Structure 1
Amino acid sequence: MPRRFNLLGFQGDPDVLLSRRRLLAGAAALMSALAAPRLLAQTGDVIRLGQTVAFTGPLGDIGQAMHRGSKVCFDAVNGQGGVHGRRIELVAKDDGYVVQRALQNVQGFLEDPQLFGLFSCMGTPIIESMLPLIRHTDVPCFSPLTGASSARPSDMRNVLNLRASYPEEAERLVEHLATIGLKRIAVAYQNNSFGQEVLQSAEKAIRRHQLSLAASASIQNDASDAAAAAKTISASAPDAVLLGLAGKPTVGFVKAIRAERKGLPLYALSVMGSAATLSALGDDGVGIAVSQVVPLPNRSVVPVVRDFLKAWHATPGAIEPSHLALEGYINARVFVETLRRAGRHLTRKSFIDAAWNIKRLDLGGFQLNFLEPGRNASRFVELTMIGRGGRFIR
């Protein structure tokens, strides 16, 4: 049976690993065909993008919000005639945040002769696993939803990352703690690759700002040891706790640490802020500071947010606008701008070249600068706080 994976953590399973090897072997036959640039010059051509994303499972709310944010942008562009006369078609397949299903989705996309590229695929373990399928090809992998260094290869020019990295988020949080005079910082981190990277980044930032690490405690993906971790953290008497957590471990640890020390300041990364997590936290979430990689989605004084809200409300749907929805919209806006710059005689190569030639692009309160493979184009990180009703405030 395939195993489910909590956000951004991959743990080896013999059956999954075997399936991955089979998928990789099957995909090898596609490499030579995919490596050849395809000309899309005829007016009216469709630019087809593949997206493997969680619509169901514990992270389904993240995938739905991000996908819809992208879709409202593409629909608005298509409604105005597309880009150079070409309509953008976003084909999304649910993977439930299961690596094996995601790899099957990606292989299916790569077998489609009309596929132009992959767009906003979701999650570190999934991106890590799919990178070998597109290595040595010209298939663009645009704006994957992960901040992990492991999913940002410096030798793959076709992987185009937008969002700020987890180390950058951790640095911003620690910098803030140093600025307000909090000295003893504890770190609660998920026992997976995501959590380990946050811990290592936080430790470096703590040393750089001449603070002290009061304690660190790992938490399993099922949150079974969250209460024990809270006791360890509480016993160290920290001034604040940085959370390298997402999903169930966030809820388990926050509730446990609130029971130990109710007023202890808590600081978290953007990935903790899904609608399901905020709902499960309830009043225990109020006051948690959270780094964000896009602006507040209701701050209409920011031009790109105003554009987003206009497109969002023009499309029927019950989902509330969120940071993740805005991130999806921004990803789509940058994709559209890259298409425009690539020109009418479009190939995958011309698209990738156009992306790396984007310098100091301002979408209206959100700047991007494509520097080199392995680097993210955006360095936007701001701090928000969870208010009453699970809404973010500045």
Structure 2
Amino acid sequence: MLRVRVILLLILLLPVQSVYAADILLGMSTALTGPTAELGTAMRDGVLLGLERINRDGGVDGRKLRLVVLDDGYEPARTAPNMRRLIEEKQVLAIIGNVGTPTAIASLPVIREHRVLFFAPFTGAGVLRQTPPERYVINLRAGYTEEIDAMVDALVRHGGLQPEDIAFFTQRDGYGDSGYVSGFSALRRHGLADERQVLHVRYPRNTLAVENALADVLLAEKTPRAIIMVGAYDPCAKFVRLAREAGLESLFLSVSFVGGDFLAEALGPGVEGVVVTQVVPHPRDRSLRVVDDYLSDLHSLAPELSPTFAAMEGYLAARLLGLGLARVQGVPSRESLIDALETLGRIDLGLGRPLQLGPQRHQASDQVWPTLLRQGRLMPMDWPQIADLVPERP
């Protein structure tokens, strides 16, 4: 990993003019400090690992891919200036792998103004998934709609829950709101007639102030049998721990943005049975070619790091962007890169099922993988297992 991090350090410290003219610069604004720093760091490391693999194989027509990373601390007020610096001062070709919904919302006006590709952000928010698709936004991962649809379908179909048995614990911002809207729509499809039947509690972003939300759950007229969490790993972990200490037996589920590896670490081995949906395969599943590539590259370049879902997503994002860059004729431009990505069609990246991109499809994957927390680790699971996880009806 030393070589990769030296590359990153040089890019951050030197002005653009000092980078070889043949280099292709990419930008990222992410959380390297603050309560979600582990997510931002993992995504950055995954992207760097994927770019290094491309560079090791000759780059793009001999041009090396470089990444400029700026820290926004997961605060939208810091993101927009970062984006302007990356685009206007650093002259990056594209933005890749930014982390978060509120920060993505802050990025969009700058992206639209400068017509720069916003590629594979670490968020499933619907605002980035317009119909028809927004030209300058291309996603890798499934959205929160697909993740929460899968949860709700499993809870109703396999767990025997009614829509009003399901509650929501969300972050009080665009991320949490996006998850709740997706969840409410899923419950409506399963017969929910009145939004007031659904318990919805929230906490402030970048805090651990979850006590009021938990009190609302404990004092609710009807105890939820399942609680879907749309938050960051530390507040979600605190919420689950305090709930268990208070005797709450509800099944907890979370969308992928929580960073399942970091949630498991924060919860420790004493808490089990939490379900986390993933939008990439398990990062230790060597039966998949691209995961085997990831683990091999991790072993050779960063043996001190453990594989994580977030880094796996960053790695896949870099590999997918590399395929688009390889299709560009001549020196890539911001527009020609988007045109090239839209011509990829069905893509075999080694995931066991194809990805797909096109002019009317700017989300490469719809796949959701459920995982279950057991003995401090997230293990693959099948949705019918949820029947054994939900508490009995009181």
For normalisation by structure 1, the TM-score amounts to 0.82
Give runs of aligned pairs for residues 25-104 of structure 1, distance below 5 A: 45-104=22-81
Residues 325, 208 of structure 1: CA spacing in aligned structure 2 closer, same or farther, 3 A cutoff?
A: same
Which residue of structure 2 lines up, in the alignment, with residue 385 of structure 1?
372
Residue 333 of structure 2 corresponds to residue 369 of structure 1: no
Point out where structure 2 has 5 or more consecutive residues left out of the alignment: 1-19, 382-394
1:112 partner amino acid = E
Residues 232, 333 of structure 1: CA spacing in aligned structure 2 closer, same or farther, 3 A cutoff?
A: farther
1:216 partner amino acid = L
Which residue of structure 2 lines up, in the alignment, with residue 312 of structure 1?
298
254, 266, 272: which is aligned to 2:240? 254
2:60 partner amino acid = V
Q: Is the 8 A contact 1:219 1:249 kept in 2?
A: no
Q: Hey, what's the Cα distance between the residues in 2 that align with 1:358 and 1:127?
A: 25
2:176 partner amino acid = G
Q: Is the 8 A contact 2:30 2:69 kept in 1?
A: yes
Residue 286 of structure 2 corresponds to residue 300 of structure 1: yes
Which residue of structure 1 lines up, in the alignment, with residue 97 of structure 2?
120
Secondary structure in 1 aligned to 2:302? coil
Percent sequence identity is 31
Give runs of aligned pairs for residues 140-219 of structure 1, distance below 5 A: 140-153=117-130, 154=132, 156-184=134-162, 185-190=165-170, 191-210=172-191, 215-219=198-202
106, 111, 116: which is aligned to 1:129? 106
Q: Deviations over 1:168-217 (max 9, x none)?
A: 11001111112314223322222322222222222222232347886413
2:215 partner amino acid = A
Point out the more displaced range, 182-191 or 61-70.
Answer: 182-191
Q: Deviations over 1:212-246 (max 9, x none)?
A: 8864131222224133133045x514332222232
Q: Hey, what's the Cα distance between the residues in 2 that align with 1:373 and 1:110?
A: 26
Secondary structure in 2 aligned to 1:321? coil
Secondary structure in 2 aligned to 1:385? strand
Q: Is the 8 A contact 2:169 2:230 kept in 1?
A: yes
Pairs aligned (count): 351
Q: Hey, what's the Cα distance between the residues in 1 that align with 2:367 and 2:311?
A: 16
Point out the more displaced range, 299-308 or 259-268.
Answer: 259-268
Point out the more displaced range, 373-382 or 332-341.
Answer: 373-382
Residues 388, 201 of structure 1: CA spacing in aligned structure 2 closer, same or farther, 3 A cutoff?
A: same
1:144 partner amino acid = P
Q: Is the 8 A contact 2:341 2:358 kept in 1?
A: no
Residue 326 of structure 2 corresponds to residue 349 of structure 1: no
Which residue of structure 1 lines up, in the alignment, with residue 391 of structure 2?
none
Residues 50, 58 of structure 1: CA spacing in aligned structure 2 closer, same or farther, 3 A cutoff?
A: same
Tell me by how many angstroms 1:317 deviates.
5.0
Tell me by how many angstroms 1:249 deviates.
3.2
Q: Is the 8 A contact 1:139 1:158 kept in 2?
A: yes
1:177 partner amino acid = L
- Alignment RMSD (CA, Å): 2.4
Tell me by how many angstroms 1:132 deviates.
0.9
Q: Hey, what's the Cα distance between the residues in 2 that align with 1:50 and 1:371?
A: 23
Q: Is the 8 A contact 1:386 1:393 kept in 2?
A: no
Secondary structure in 2 aligned to 1:267? strand
Tell me by how many angstroms 1:113 deviates.
5.9
Secondary structure in 2 aligned to 1:266? strand
Tell me by how many angstroms 1:256 deviates.
3.1
1:194 partner amino acid = Y
For normalisation by structure 2, the TM-score amounts to 0.82
